[in-house]
Amino acid sequence: MAETTKATRSRRTRGAARQDTGASGAESEAAARDADAGPAGAENAQAPAGTAGGADADAETLVAYYRQMLLIRRFEERAARAYTQAKIGGYCHLNLGEEATIVGLMAALRPTDYLFTNYREHGYALAKGIDARSVMAELYGRSTGVSKGWGGSMHMFDVKTRLLGGYGIVGGQLPLATGAALAVSYKGGDEVVMCHMGDGTAAIGAFHESLNIAALWNLPVVFVVINNGLGMGTTVDRSAAEPELWRRGAAYRMESARVDGTDVLAVREAARTAVERARTESKPYLLEATSPRLRGHSVVDPARYRSAEEKEALKAADPLAAMALRLEEAGILDAEARDKLDAEVTAEIEDAAAFADDSPHPDVSTLFDYTYATPVPSELRRLPADPVFRS
């Protein structure tokens, strides 16, 4: 296959030919050692949950991380409110509870690295560098939104910050991210592709196909499973034969780890390890971050399947409150400074909501501009007397 050969050549320039035939010297020895270790090879390591893994950061960086987490929190709370006011249409899934994971992951990426997400993506868009106005306007379906109002909550796309979507089909982003990593490898670049997904996605066929190809072809992609314990209302224990999802990397001889997703520094360290491996050795990586989902699956899900004890436990698992406490105890951010920051962030989010509200809807003449379909009006799909496609 010509493509594979070319990709292999490109990978070699990045010094990652271990699984290619003809690997020599130390690489062959390493391959033999790995083979001896068997499919559950010694490469897999579990990061110690609940610690920062020896990670450190200065006060300014910690406050910046806290601010980003707060921005995501206030954004999502505002989005939930806007949804109940019917300002937002369609589906809307929030990142409430996943703030530390998101900020830690994005801190490990360079601006030139690519990101694919599932539909639970607002926080990722913000942390990747898209401003709150563009993200909120997209939720409102306005032309000033990051996808010009045509994508909505689940389908944001931004070439500038290299957020390559936003996908509503569970697992749909995985083959695309794997393909993007093949493109990077083929061109000989040093960018990394990060692909985020939920725990339920680890049971989808595309998960296995993507990890298999990424491992076979040594692609620079980091697969990140956010394990919030639930795929809609189904628990991981009920849906996954191996509920420690990071262990699935072993089936592909892919390095993998699990990290406490409520600890921003631990996530950053774990993600840095994964990203470094992808960038310098062109090896894929599977990272699992355990992270609470503070509310229902989407804004319309009251999560009645959760017991009162579970709901109570969730309050104690809030990563934002934990970070606030950590900063206060370390003498970095006291209650007064925290309130000031909160007021600042809340004002930014209110401004974003006002901006979205004041923005125009996309012109109906642009309806087919961003679709693969030809702009032929479909008379059959129109309802009687529906004027939408008539000029």
Ligand X SMILES: Cc1ncc(C[n+]2csc(CCOP(=O)(O)OP(=O)(O)O)c2C)c(N)n1
Residue nearest to ligand X (CB): 198
**Nearest alpha-carbon partner for 321 in 347, 349, 292, 296:** 292
Indicate the DSSP class of residue 340: H
Contacts with ligand X, 295-334, as mask; x by CB under 6 A:
--x-------------------------------------
> Least separation, in Å, of the C-beta of 91 and ligand X?
8
> Least separation, in Å, of the C-beta of 47 and ligand X?
21
CA 348 to chain centre: 23
Q: Judged by CB under 6 A, which of 44, 161, 178, 228 binds ligand X?
A: 228
> Least separation, in Å, of the C-beta of 167 and ligand X?
9
Contacts with ligand X, 178-197, as mask; x by CB under 6 A:
-------------------x
- Residue with smaller CB distance to ligand X, 206 or 353: 206
- CA dist., res. 194 & res. 113, Å (int): 8
Q: Is 170 in the site for ligand X (CB under 6 A)?
A: yes
- Give the SS3 label for residue 83: helix
Q: Judged by CB under 6 A, which of 76, 121, 158, 199 binds ligand X?
A: 199
C-alpha distance from residue 313 to each of 251, 322, 330, 361 (Å): 33, 14, 25, 42
Tell me the pairing of strands 230-231 and 234-235: antiparallel
> Least separation, in Å, of the C-beta of 227 and ligand X?
8
Contacts with ligand X, 54-73, as mask; x by CB under 6 A:
--------------------
Contacts with ligand X, 118-147, as mask; x by CB under 6 A:
x-x---------------------------
Exposure of 225 in the CB half-sphere (CA atoms within 13 A): 29
- Residue with smaller CB distance to ligand X, 220 or 292: 292
Question: How many residues belong to the site for ligand X (CB under 6 A)?
Answer: 15
Q: Is 155 in the site for ligand X (CB under 6 A)?
A: no
Burial of 51 (0-12, 13-18, 19+ CB in 10 A): middle
- Residue with smaller CB distance to ligand X, 135 or 230: 230
- Between residue 82 and residue 121, which ones bind ligand X under the rule CB under 6 A? 118, 120
- CA dist., res. 306 & res. 248, Å (int): 27
**Nearest alpha-carbon partner for 185 in 14, 382, 391:** 14
| DSSP codes joined into one string, 5-63 | HHHHHHHHHTT--TTSTT--HHHHHHHHHHHHH-TT-TT--PPPTTS-TT----HHHHH
Pick the piece of the chain touching ligand X (CB under 6 A) from 5-13, 135-143, 167-175, 315-323.
167-175
Q: Name the E strands within the chain.
A: 114-118, 163-167, 193-198, 221-227, 230-231, 234-235, 255-260, 285-290
Task: Give me the residues that bind ligand X (CB under 6 A), please.
Answer: 118, 120, 168-170, 197-201, 228, 230-232, 297
